[in-house]
Amino acid sequence: MVVLVAGFTMAEASAQDLWLMKGHDVRRTGQSKNKGPLSIDPAQSWTADAPGGIVLNIGASIDEHGVYFGSWGLMRRSIPGNDPRRWDKSDGKLYGLDLETGAPLWGDALDLDLTPRCYEYPGRGPNLLWCGFTPYEVSFYNGTVEGQAAIDTSRNVLYVGRGDGKLYAVDPEAGRTLWRYRTFNPERLDDPDGGGEVVSSPLLDDDGNIYFGTWGEGTYETNAFYAVHPDSSLAWRYPSASSLTHRIFASPALSPDHTTIYVSTFRDNDGTLPATLYAFHRAPLNATPDQQRLKWALDLEQNGLPMQTTTLAVGTDGAIYVGGLSPEGFGVPVLTAIEDLGDRAAFKWDPPYVTLRDGAQLVLGIALREVAGQTERLYATTANLGTALFNTKEEGALYAVEPLTGRVVASYDPSDDVGTAVGSVNSPAIDANGAIYFGVRGRFGNAPVNGYYFGVTYDAQAERFEKRWHFEVDGYVEWSHPAIGPDGGLYAGSAVNQSTDEIRGGIYDEGVIPEGSTPLFYALKGPTLPVRTDPPLQAPPPFRFTSAYPNPFATQSVLELELSGAGSLHVQVVDVLGRTVAQLADGPVSAGRHTLTWDGRGVNGARLAGGIYFVRARWTDPATGQVFSTSRKLIRLTM
């Protein structure tokens, strides 16, 4: 089924912002330069079928040609004549739809490789997972498309990872596979890679190189991070010849200057070791020893419990915001912020971890609201595992967090406004006006509850969210986060409400589409407001802190600022709650270097408490009236 819409011309679309990968961009900010829908108009919106897809799992990517997404697909019976040790095949597909009409771009979905589910190879022992406790080696080769695609518009190539351990390069106009990069070769006993399911979404750099991680499940599968050239050759792999202890779920991101790649891990097989945040040098690109490739690594552990990471985003100041869970009970959502200090990393917040106790299990998404070159606010969402065991959990919320301190300033539970909008809240998207869009799971199985998509705004003065609209989908929402199109539409998918046993557990002949196995993809469109006249994102301000010494300090710290021109300078010190504790400058200054001294003993010698403080500086250009800002963290020792 395709419902036609009124829309826009592709000439208009190509001149606007495109949602080219998970989180919109290479820093995974989740913020579009396009305005999103103020409300949903059915006459402008469309819905399209994804036959036999069962679940549209993650999110869509958008270029000037259309919108692209993947499915889980169905299990197919083994092809007659095949080696009987190679069992069922899975056929998760890639779809491309026209933005304006929802019509298929390629006439049908793109069939990726038909991949076996279970193996038995000589010399490789049995493993009892996923194969019904039958003594065959288990494989992740289930064919599901789990990670969101990344689009290289300069080369006109779309890259998507899959559960078969392959990275696919696809022509988005013709809908054909250009090449595959295999992370595995199960027929080689000495295979150094082993492969693993590709659930993290690919990342592209300025030269068209592709970065992604793997998630190993079976005995002979490995967890590693890959850098692949656009000609399909391997640039480097970390570790170069062995496996990471942990699997990779969160999608990697680039630093603001594009010199560093950040990768975080999920968990080890036993869940006893903390996840690690890695920073890798992007250059030199070709094979480099592991110790030279690695810039630094930071283990993430909260109160003696290992953190497991699910998502990350990087701010304009280089701060790395990481979300995941701490294994407290069945898991508790956790956020942290980390600073890259060149040869090492440091936690930005005090305390370093923020726990979101709403009954959900993990932080699923992070998005950054950025204005005038500064990260103004962090939005995070909480979710539950998508398994049948946790299908009855109805918790999930959207949070607003102060990025400088980690203070949670507001939260929003969709079920407070719409009683049936229960369950996980997926990754948020932010439009040019600061509106936030997200999905709510609902429930699948024997007592299904449909999912929803929401549009909300945030009132910073009142510190609260306000619902603008909600839209009920047919089916549930399995972590499928929305993307904002160049036409202002919201693009996202749903999943069928039948239980895993009814549909996902079945094995079907080739070409058979069983009833109830077709999920829907939505383009939600409506009127939009003009983009607010917030200042555009700016280059680094024409002034900077050059030093703060000593830091940490006991009584006094001397700060140096360098200004490229004369102007008005305002400098204050605030505590972690944002309260002003000292004023260091407030008035006109000349160009050049300036020295400021903060006496931590406070007013009239009354000592301030030890801990973290922030020096905030604002400089106003007298010619244009434009305001620039920066900040520096200081640590005062407890006396």
Q: pLDDT value at position 473?
A: 97
| Cα-Cα-Cα-Cα dihedral sign, residues 354, 355, 356, 361 | positive
User: 126-140, 156-170, 565-579 — which is least confidently predicted?
Assistant: 126-140
Q: Do 189 and 276 belong to one domain? A: yes
Residue 339: pLDDT over 80: yes
Stretch 135-144: mean pLDDT, rounded?
61
Residue 481: closest CA among 472, 466, 491: 491
- Give the model's confidence band at 576: pLDDT under 50 very low, under 70 low, under 90 confident, else very high: low
Name the residue with higher pLDDT: 461 or 564.
461
Q: Do 264 and 206 belong to one domain? A: yes
Residue 348: pLDDT over 70: yes
Q: Do 503 and 595 belong to one domain? A: no
**Tokens standing for 496?**
């069928």
Strand-strand pairing, 275-281 and 567-575: unpaired
Task: Name the E strands within 384-427.
Answer: 398-401, 408-412
Strand-strand pairing, 93-97 and 118-119: unpaired
Contact between 313 and 401 under an 8 Å Cβ cutoff? The reply is: no
Query: Does residue 171 lie in a domain region?
Result: yes
Strand-strand pairing, 507-508 and 75-76: parallel
**Tokens standing for 65?**
């040609």
Cα 348 to Cα 335: distance, rounded to the nearest angstrom: 11
Q: pLDDT value at position 568?
A: 86
Query: Does residue 5 lie in a domain region?
Result: no
Q: Do 488 and 624 belong to one domain? A: no
Residue 477: pLDDT over 90: yes
Contact between 161 and 180 under an 8 Å Cβ cutoff? The reply is: no
Cα 148 to Cα 70: distance, rounded to the nearest angstrom: 8
Q: Do 453 and 486 belong to one domain? A: yes
Q: How many domains does the chain contain in total?
A: 2
Residue 196: closest CA among 169, 226, 170: 226
Residue 593: pLDDT over 60: yes
Provide the 8-state DSSP code for 425: B
Cα 265 to Cα 63: distance, rounded to the nearest angstrom: 29
Q: pLDDT value at position 541?
A: 53
- Give the model's confidence band at 388: pLDDT under 50 very low, under 70 low, under 90 confident, else very high: low
| Cα-Cα-Cα-Cα dihedral sign, residues 375, 400, 487, 254 | positive
Contact between 396 and 407 under an 8 Å Cβ cutoff? The reply is: no
Looking at 524, 555, 575, which one is the last position of a domain? 524
Amino acid residing at 158: L
Cα 598 to Cα 607: distance, rounded to the nearest angstrom: 12
Query: Does residue 3 lie in a domain region?
Result: no
- Give the model's confidence band at 242: pLDDT under 50 very low, under 70 low, under 90 confident, else very high: confident
Q: pLDDT value at position 8?
A: 30
pLDDT, averaged across the chain: 85
CATH of the domain at 573: 2.60.40.4070
Query: Does residue 374 lie in a domain region?
Result: yes
Query: Does residue 8 lie in a domain region?
Result: no
Cα 131 to Cα 141: distance, rounded to the nearest angstrom: 12
Q: Do 457 and 393 belong to one domain? A: yes
Residue 603: pLDDT over 80: no
Residue 324: pLDDT over 80: yes
- Tell me which residue range forms the domain holding 554: 543-636
Query: Does residue 71 lie in a domain region?
Result: yes
Q: pLDDT value at position 329?
A: 74
Stretch 101-116: mean pLDDT, rounded?
89
User: 268-277, 321-330, 336-345 — which is least confidently predicted?
Assistant: 268-277
- Residue 181 contacts by C-beta under 8 Å, 6 or more apart in sequence? 166, 167, 169, 226, 228, 232, 234
Stretch 494-523: mean pLDDT, rounded?
83
Stretch 436-444: mean pLDDT, rounded?
94
Q: pLDDT value at position 71?
A: 94
Residue 331: closest CA among 275, 402, 251: 275
Query: Does residue 12 lie in a domain region?
Result: no
Cα 404 to Cα 401: distance, rounded to the nearest angstrom: 9
Residue 616: closest CA among 535, 542, 555, 559: 559
Q: Do 495 and 561 belong to one domain? A: no
Q: Do 472 and 601 belong to one domain? A: no
Residue whose structure tokens are 């027929």: 187
Give the rounded percent of residues in the chain with a pLDDT score beyond 70: 84
Task: Name the E strands within 567-608.
Answer: 567-575, 580-589, 592-599
Contact between 365 and 388 under an 8 Å Cβ cutoff? The reply is: no
Name the residue with higher pLDDT: 284 or 359.
359
Cα 618 to Cα 629: distance, rounded to the nearest angstrom: 4
Q: Do 552 and 517 belong to one domain? A: no
Q: Do 572 and 448 belong to one domain? A: no
Cα 252 to Cα 237: distance, rounded to the nearest angstrom: 14
Contact between 430 and 447 under an 8 Å Cβ cutoff? The reply is: no
Q: Do 410 and 288 belong to one domain? A: yes
Query: Does residue 111 lie in a domain region?
Result: yes
Residue 579: pLDDT over 90: no
Summary count for the chain: helices (H), strands (E): 2, 47
Looking at 524, 556, 582, which one is the last position of a domain? 524
Q: What pTM, to 2 d.p., does this model score?
A: 0.81
Stretch 500-523: mean pLDDT, rounded?
84
Provide the 8-state DSSP code for 531: P
Q: Do 501 and 628 belong to one domain? A: no
Looking at 489, 524, 559, which one is the last position of a domain? 524
CATH of the domain at 128: 2.140.10.10
SS3 category, 10:
helix
Residue 60: closest CA among 491, 625, 501: 491
Residue 142: pLDDT over 90: no
Q: What is the pLDDT of residues 32-42, one digit of tens each?
A: 999 999 999 99
Taking CA atoms, 269 is separated from 221, 265, 559, in Å, by: 12, 12, 47
Stretch 576-599: mean pLDDT, rounded?
84
| Cα 617–chain centre separation | 31
- Give the model's confidence band at 9: pLDDT under 50 very low, under 70 low, under 90 confident, else very high: very low
Q: pLDDT value at position 433?
A: 94
Residue 405: pLDDT over 60: yes
